[in-house]
Amino acid sequence: MLSFSFVTDNSLLYFVVICMLILFSVIHHDKDQLNSSTKISINVSYLLLLHSIAYAAFCVLFYVNERYSLGNIKAIRFALVLLGLLTNYISFVYPYLFLFLIRQFHNRCTFVRGRNFVIFTGFFVLCTLMFFAAIGYTTCLVYLEAPLSTLFLHNLDDAIVFAGIISFVVALPDFNRFIYNLLQGTFYSKKAIIVALFAILYLQLILLPLNFMFYAPVMYMFSMILVYVIHVTSQQKQISVDFLTGMNNRNSLMKYLERLFVKRSELDGSFKLLVITIDNFKNLNNNYGHDEGDKMLIKVADILKQSAPTTGLFLCRFMRDQFVAVMHETPEFGVTDYIDRLNKNAEGFNNVRDVNFELSLSVGYVAYSHDLKDIDSFISEAEENLYRQQELKRINRLKEQTLSF
């Protein structure tokens, strides 16, 4: 064992105290805005607090034992071993807890399914059994003064660590998917998300040997980072997500476009912005009330999402009954394909609608051009095209009414 360790240097104690302050802050802020992500961060924060207390108690007891040579007191020896085992055990419970909470609050059918779930759960049970076996062994060793080898206890402790590492590796693809999905709905670029994934997940795996070499709390530290990332992301989504539809809001759209416009030289005519609105939405509100209007907005948001390609489309509720889609056209899927899907899905809704209101959507779009001055002119041009289409619809409707007479 190397001479330096986070325990003997008291670095761990200082680090743990700082983490506890952060955790109290996370719990305080997240408890007032509960959603699937904050529920995860709060529950893990409570476990991290317990872990922090165990670490702090271990550090203090270790210091007192070293300072006053209390190693001959059975209770001190037992407490040190017990706290050491507990901190190790909790460290490697994090992967299981995270995945359990993700399955509970996000999607049970998406994360850790089938054989992986059996393996993952099996290692958690094994880890737990070894922890209690180690406690029993320690009790016999310290209090009953049984002629037992301390080497076996160390081996049990190491086995807990290895079982935890294996369960973490098994769950790695699911963690990867969860964090990617978590960050995807934010202002982070794809490159930033990849860097974050490496920093939060794969760097943790690389640094795990430090747990053996320096008693470094690697799992604890990265669990803290993940909780804080979930917390910050949730805070960010509070200001970037439309509360009614769950879509990105206007603020999120502007941030997204600003990020793209930084590299205008990389944009071309395949980059298009669509402004979509509900025809005669005011009549729906006037005739059936705002509750029905809200239901229609939610339904249209669903239609926009259902009609979208798997990648390359950014959707937001811009204002009132107006939505914006930003897309990169490909040979396989373009603006007209998206509009066709929208109209088809709107017709499908009309076949099963509850109110006497026929849903139809008007779409105005514009292709990116280097002649555009800024983001506002990009949006304004699409809006002008939208108004032209609405006017054409109005004229055609008048013609149909005239012909019917």
Tell me if 193 is assigned to some domain: yes
pLDDT at 230 over 80: yes
pLDDT at 108 over 90: no
**175 and 39, same domain (yes or no):** yes
Tell me if 3 is assigned to some domain: no
**264 and 196, same domain (yes or no):** no
Q: Which residue has the higher pLDDT, 212 or 379?
A: 379
DSSP 232-256: HHHHHHHHHB-TTT-SB-HHHHHHH
**216 and 273, same domain (yes or no):** no
Per-residue pLDDT, averaged over 86-111, amounts to: 77
d(CA 276, CA 318): 9
Q: Are 242 and 248 in contact (CB under 8 A)?
A: yes
**Tokens 């759960």, residue located:** 121
CATH number for 301: 3.30.70.270
pLDDT at 164 over 80: no
pLDDT at 157 over 90: no
pLDDT of res. 2: 37
Non-local (6+) Cβ contacts of 286 within 8 A are: none
Q: Which residue has the higher pLDDT, 88 or 48?
A: 48
pLDDT at 140 over 50: yes
Mean pLDDT taken over the chain: 84
**175 and 290, same domain (yes or no):** no
Tell me if 23 is assigned to some domain: yes
pLDDT at 112 over 80: no
pLDDT of res. 42: 92
d(CA 187, CA 248): 10
d(CA 268, CA 266): 7
What is the residue range of 331's domain?
250-404
Give the sign of the dihedral formed by CA 149, CA 151, CA 152, CA 154. positive
d(CA 123, CA 34): 31
Min mean pLDDT across 48-62, 210-224, 299-313 is at 210-224
* Direct distance between the N- and C-terminal alpha carbons of the chain, in angstroms, rounded to an integer: 96
The helix-helix angle for 74-91 and 36-68 (nearest 10°) equals 150
Tell me if 4 is assigned to some domain: no
Q: Are 211 and 217 in contact (CB under 8 A)?
A: yes
**383 and 235, same domain (yes or no):** no
Tell me if 5 is assigned to some domain: no
Tell me if 86 is assigned to some domain: yes
Give the closest residue to 314 by CA, choosing from 374, 254, 402: 254
pLDDT of res. 63: 84
DSSP 323-378: EEEEEE--SS--HHHHHHHHHHHHHHHHTT-SSS----EEEEEEE--TT--SHHHH
Burial profile 365-380: b = 16 or more Cβ within 10 angstroms, e = fewer:
bbbbeeebeebeebbe
**232 and 280, same domain (yes or no):** no
**372 and 343, same domain (yes or no):** yes
d(CA 223, CA 16): 13
Tell me if 170 is assigned to some domain: yes
Q: Are 141 and 154 in contact (CB under 8 A)?
A: no
**224 and 255, same domain (yes or no):** no
Tokens linked to 303: 């239609």
d(CA 170, CA 95): 10
**255 and 373, same domain (yes or no):** yes
**121 and 261, same domain (yes or no):** no
Tell me if 137 is assigned to some domain: yes
d(CA 184, CA 188): 7
Looking at the structure of the chain, the number of domains it has is 2
Min mean pLDDT across 169-173, 272-276, 287-291, 376-380 is at 169-173
Q: Which of these three, 240, 275, 293, is where a domain ends? A: 240
**136 and 236, same domain (yes or no):** yes
Q: Which of these three, 240, 267, 289, is where a domain ends? A: 240
pTM across the whole model: 0.66
Burial profile 48-57: b = 16 or more Cβ within 10 angstroms, e = fewer:
beebbebbbb
Q: Which of these three, 173, 208, 240, is where a domain ends? A: 240
pLDDT at 10 over 80: no
**354 and 383, same domain (yes or no):** yes
pLDDT, tens only, 22-59: 999 999 888 877 777 888 889 999 999 999 999 899 88
Question: How is residue 265 annotated by DSSP?
Answer: G
